[in-house]
Structure 1
Amino acid sequence: MEEKQVKSRWPALFSERQIQAEFQRIVTTDLLSSFLDGLDGLAPRLLEVYKGASRTGKKQALKSILDCLEKDDTNERRRTAALFGLSHYMSGEKQANVIRMCDAHGDTL
């Protein structure tokens, strides 16, 4: 099915407001709050993993992301660094290695 067909058949899939409303209806939880709460719980550990990776020299791009926190260590900046750092941390990793980082219980890294 082409993108145009999907958009015409399910236009709500392409509306942030509609997705949040549907999530609220199904799960009775606010999507954005739930996501940010989860991110706040994971960010400290992710940032520690990034620090370790940047110290080894393997992932130098992470150092500049972490350096921004030294200037302004706000919750919003920590969230941004945790999310932005994921693509740099995972770059070059084989899919099988990434999957092995997660166990069946959902513990990550």
Structure 2
Amino acid sequence: MTDRERQMIESYLPHPRDPQLGQDEYYVLDTAGRVQHVRLSDIFPGRPGEDAEYGVRRVSDGMRIDAGLGDPFRGFAMFDLYDNRQDCKDRTHGCFNNWEYLRELQKKGEGT
């Protein structure tokens, strides 16, 4: 791991992944600014040169969470999805889609 990658991990991922999250489960901020525990339900491929977006449903009741874009075929970008509740509240990696790669580097660096 490079020094730059280490710095990015410290900045974008200050807290570890929440252990109660299952596979394909994340946290997002809803349009009212509340943290919601969600599961991925849809993938909306991006146009050429754009990243994919993800439709999500609340884990508690299965209701779809709107990304607030007014289009049912639009979803949350990866930078809107978090694997730690506090990081979601703090929006630690807003506008950085490749944060899961950093989480993998962090795991390898810890030897887990």
TM-score by structure 1 length? 0.23
Larger Rg: 1
Point out the structure with the larger strand share: 2
Bigger fraction of residues in helix: 1
Highest relative contact order (Cα 8 Å, sep 6+), 1 or 2? Answer: 2
